[in-house]
Protein backbone atom coordinates (compact mmCIF):
# COMPACT_ATOMS: atom_id res chain seq x y z
CA UNK A 1 0.00 0.00 0.00
CA UNK A 2 1.32 3.45 -0.93
CA UNK A 3 1.80 5.51 2.23
CA UNK A 4 2.61 8.76 0.40
CA UNK A 5 -0.09 11.33 0.93
CA UNK A 6 -1.78 9.54 3.82
CA UNK A 7 -2.27 11.66 6.93
CA UNK A 8 -0.19 10.64 9.92
CA UNK A 9 -1.98 9.15 12.94
CA UNK A 10 -0.03 9.99 16.08
CA UNK A 11 -1.42 8.40 19.24
CA UNK A 12 -0.44 10.38 22.35
CA UNK A 13 3.03 11.89 22.42
CA UNK A 14 6.22 9.94 21.58
CA UNK A 15 7.33 7.77 24.48
CA UNK A 16 5.85 5.07 26.70
CA UNK A 17 2.21 6.10 26.17
CA UNK A 18 2.48 6.04 22.38
CA UNK A 19 4.36 2.75 22.54
CA UNK A 20 1.52 1.18 24.59
CA UNK A 21 -1.17 2.58 22.30
CA UNK A 22 0.57 1.42 19.12
CA UNK A 23 1.05 -2.06 20.63
CA UNK A 24 -2.67 -2.15 21.48
CA UNK A 25 -3.56 -1.17 17.90
CA UNK A 26 -1.26 -3.79 16.39
CA UNK A 27 -2.54 -6.39 18.87
CA UNK A 28 -6.19 -5.64 18.02
CA UNK A 29 -7.21 -4.42 21.50
CA UNK A 30 -7.49 -0.75 20.46
CA UNK A 31 -10.16 0.00 17.86
CA UNK A 32 -11.28 3.46 19.00
CA UNK A 33 -9.57 6.67 19.98
CA UNK A 34 -10.55 10.07 21.33
CA UNK A 35 -9.26 13.54 20.63
CA UNK A 36 -10.27 17.06 21.52
CA UNK A 37 -12.02 18.90 18.71
CA UNK A 38 -10.17 21.95 20.04
CA UNK A 39 -6.83 20.31 19.15
CA UNK A 40 -7.84 20.18 15.49
CA UNK A 41 -9.06 23.77 15.62
CA UNK A 42 -5.83 24.96 17.28
CA UNK A 43 -3.76 23.22 14.58
CA UNK A 44 -5.99 24.56 11.80
CA UNK A 45 -6.70 20.99 10.64
CA UNK A 46 -10.03 19.67 9.34
CA UNK A 47 -11.71 16.93 11.32
CA UNK A 48 -11.16 13.47 9.86
CA UNK A 49 -14.04 11.66 8.21
CA UNK A 50 -15.20 8.05 8.04
CA UNK A 51 -13.46 6.24 5.20
CA UNK A 52 -10.26 8.23 5.63
CA UNK A 53 -7.05 6.21 5.79
CA UNK A 54 -4.14 7.18 8.03
CA UNK A 55 -0.66 5.84 8.66
CA UNK A 56 0.04 5.06 12.32
CA UNK A 57 3.54 6.02 13.45
CA UNK A 58 5.52 4.83 16.44
CA UNK A 59 7.60 6.92 18.85
CA UNK A 60 10.45 7.07 16.33
CA UNK A 61 8.01 8.42 13.68
CA UNK A 62 8.24 5.15 11.71
CA UNK A 63 5.09 3.90 9.93
CA UNK A 64 3.74 0.75 11.61
CA UNK A 65 0.21 0.32 10.21
CA UNK A 66 -2.45 1.79 7.98
CA UNK A 67 -5.86 2.28 9.56
CA UNK A 68 -9.21 3.22 8.07
CA UNK A 69 -11.66 5.31 10.07
CA UNK A 70 -15.01 3.52 10.08
CA UNK A 71 -16.91 5.96 12.32
CA UNK A 72 -16.27 9.53 13.39
CA UNK A 73 -18.51 11.26 15.93
CA UNK A 74 -18.34 14.63 17.66
CA UNK A 75 -19.71 14.26 21.19
CA UNK A 76 -19.85 16.21 24.39
CA UNK A 77 -17.43 14.63 26.86
CA UNK A 78 -20.44 13.67 29.01
CA UNK A 79 -21.84 11.64 26.07
CA UNK A 80 -18.91 9.24 25.61
CA UNK A 81 -20.33 5.75 26.00
CA UNK A 82 -19.01 2.58 27.59
CA UNK A 83 -18.49 0.74 24.27
CA UNK A 84 -16.18 3.53 23.05
CA UNK A 85 -14.28 3.59 26.35
CA UNK A 86 -13.78 -0.20 26.38
CA UNK A 87 -12.73 -0.30 22.72
CA UNK A 88 -9.93 2.19 23.38
CA UNK A 89 -8.06 -0.88 24.59
CA UNK A 90 -6.39 0.83 27.54
CA UNK A 91 -7.86 -1.43 30.21
CA UNK A 92 -10.58 0.91 31.42
CA UNK A 93 -13.66 -0.86 32.78
CA UNK A 94 -15.99 2.13 33.07
CA UNK A 95 -16.61 5.49 31.46
CA UNK A 96 -15.53 7.16 34.71
CA UNK A 97 -12.20 5.33 34.63
CA UNK A 98 -11.74 6.19 30.92
CA UNK A 99 -12.58 9.83 31.61
CA UNK A 100 -10.16 10.13 34.54
CA UNK A 101 -7.29 8.86 32.39
CA UNK A 102 -8.18 11.11 29.48
CA UNK A 103 -8.59 14.15 31.71
CA UNK A 104 -5.12 13.52 33.11
CA UNK A 105 -3.74 13.44 29.56
CA UNK A 106 -5.75 16.44 28.33
CA UNK A 107 -4.68 18.48 31.37
CA UNK A 108 -1.01 17.61 30.85
CA UNK A 109 1.56 20.33 30.19
CA UNK A 110 2.09 18.91 26.68
CA UNK A 111 -1.57 19.20 25.67
CA UNK A 112 -1.93 22.60 27.30
CA UNK A 113 1.16 23.80 25.40
CA UNK A 114 -0.22 22.37 22.15
CA UNK A 115 -3.45 24.30 22.75
CA UNK A 116 -1.62 27.45 23.84
CA UNK A 117 -3.56 27.56 27.12
CA UNK A 118 -1.67 26.70 30.32
CA UNK A 119 -4.94 26.65 32.29
CA UNK A 120 -6.98 24.49 29.87
CA UNK A 121 -9.45 22.09 31.50
CA UNK A 122 -12.23 19.93 30.15
CA UNK A 123 -15.81 19.73 31.39
CA UNK A 124 -18.98 17.85 30.41
CA UNK A 125 -19.51 20.15 27.40
CA UNK A 126 -16.01 19.81 25.94
CA UNK A 127 -16.29 18.44 22.40
CA UNK A 128 -14.56 15.11 21.83
CA UNK A 129 -13.85 13.49 18.49
CA UNK A 130 -14.65 9.79 18.97
CA UNK A 131 -13.15 7.70 16.18
CA UNK A 132 -13.53 4.00 15.42
CA UNK A 133 -11.02 2.38 13.08
CA UNK A 134 -9.80 -0.88 11.66
CA UNK A 135 -6.26 -1.88 10.80
CA UNK A 136 -5.97 -2.39 7.06
CA UNK A 137 -2.39 -3.56 7.07
CA UNK A 138 0.64 -3.54 9.29
CA UNK A 139 3.56 -1.81 7.55
Percent of the chain with pLDDT over 90: 94
Question: Could you tell me how far CA 79 lies from the centroid of its own chain?
Answer: 17
pLDDT at 5: 85
pLDDT at 138: 82
CA-to-CA dists, residue 29 to 33, 57, 97, 122, angstroms: 11, 17, 17, 26
Question: Is this structure's pTM higher than 0.75?
Answer: yes
Amino acid sequence: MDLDGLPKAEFGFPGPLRDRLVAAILGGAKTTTSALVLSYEAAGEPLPEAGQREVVVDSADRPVAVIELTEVRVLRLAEVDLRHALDEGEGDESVAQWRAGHEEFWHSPEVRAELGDPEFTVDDDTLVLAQRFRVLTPV
